[in-house]
Structure 1
Amino acid sequence: MRLMIALLALILSAPAFGQSALPPAPWADRQIPDPAQEKEARDLMLTIRCLTCQSQSIADSNASMAGDMRSQIRERIMAGEEPEHIRRWLIERYGDWVSYEPTGDPILWPLWAAPAVLLALGALLLRGRLKRRTR
C-alpha cells in the first residue's frame, strides 16, 4: 500500500518537474543599443503572434516562447538581417498563423471571395423576394 501511495505521489508531482530551469534568452527583455535597430525589431515583434498566448503579439507577451522569439529577432537584426527576411523565416518555421498580416496565397482566394459571393447571393434572394411581393 505504501509503495502505491509513493508511486501515486510521484506521478502526481511529475508536472512540477516539467518547469524549465533554463535562463531566459539573452535579448528577450533587453533593448538593442542602437535605437534604429530596436525600432525595426519592435515593429516586427508587434506583427508576430505569440504561439503560447495566441491573442497577443510577442512584444506584449510574457511567455517564455515569446521571449525566445524576441531574442532571436533582436539577434538577427543586430547581425544585419532585414525584418522581412526574419518574418519569412518565422513563417517558414512556425507557419502562416504566426503572422498577423494575411497572405495572398492562391489557396486562400476562396476565403477572400466568400464575403462578396455571400453578399451577391443575399442581394439576389432579396431581389427575388421583392419581385414576388410586387406581383
Structure 2
Amino acid sequence: MRRAILMLLPFLLALALAVPAGAVNPDEILKDSALEARARDISKGLRCVVCQNQSIDDSDAQLARDLRMLVRERLVAGDSDQAVIDYVVSRYGDYVLLRPPVRATTAVLWLGPILFALIGLLGIVLYFRRQSSAGPAAGSGKDAGK
C-alpha cells in the first residue's frame, strides 16, 4: 500500500502543480502584440453571457470565443477600445459589462446587494434585541425554590 502511494505521489504532485491554460486559443491571438494586449484588456472587462460569472477572456464557451474574435476583428479594423466596447454593449446591453455603469437602469445591480445586506443586518439586530429583552424564563428550574 505504501509503495503504491509513493508511486502515485509524483503524478499527484504534477497534477496539483498543473496550471490551467487560458481560454484564448492560439488561433485567436493577433500577431501585433500591442493589439493583442488591447484585445485581452477589453475581453477581461466583458462578461460571458453564457457563463455569467466569467469574462470572455476566461470562458471556454463558443459565444465567448465568438466575442473574443469580434473584439479582435474590430481592433484590426481600427476601432478604439471604447468603440469596441460600445459596439458589444449595443448588441448585448449593459449586462455584458463586468462592471456596468451606474445609471437609473442599473441601479438595482449596484444598490440591491447593499439593500439586502442592510435588511439582513436589521433582522439580526431585531432578533438579538428580542432575545435579550425576553431574558430567562421566570420561576423555572433550580432558582424557583430559593
Q: Same fold (TM over 0.5)?
A: yes
What is aligned with 2:96? 98
Higher relative contact order (CA 8 A, sep 6+): 1
Secondary structure of 1:77's counterpart equals helix
TM-score, reference length from structure 2: 0.56
What is aligned with 1:24? none
Deviation at 1:106, TM superposition (A): 2.6
What is aligned with 2:52? 54
Count of aligned residue pairs for this structure pair:
108
Which of 1 and 2 has greater Rg?
Answer: 2
Change in Cα spacing, 1:37 to 1:79, as seen in structure 2 (3 Å) is: same
Partners in 2 of 1:28 and 1:68 — Cα distance? 14
Secondary structure of 2:28's counterpart equals coil
Choose 99-108 or 35-44, whichever is displaced more.
Answer: 99-108
RMSD: 3.0
Deviation at 1:29, TM superposition (A): 3.9
Deviation at 1:37, TM superposition (A): 0.6
1:76-126 per-residue CA deviation (whole Å, 9 max, x = no partner) reads 0011101111111111111111110121213427659848x87xx89xx9x
> Which letter does structure 1 place at the counterpart of 2:65?
G
Moved runs in structure 1, 4+ residues, more than 4 A?
109-115
Structure 2 counterparts to residues 1-135 of structure 1, below 5 A: 29-107=27-105, 108=107, 111=112, 114=115
Gaps of at least 5 residues in structure 2 are 1-24, 127-146
Deviation at 1:54, TM superposition (A): 1.4
Gaps of at least 5 residues in structure 1 are 1-26, 126-135
TM-score, reference length from structure 1: 0.60
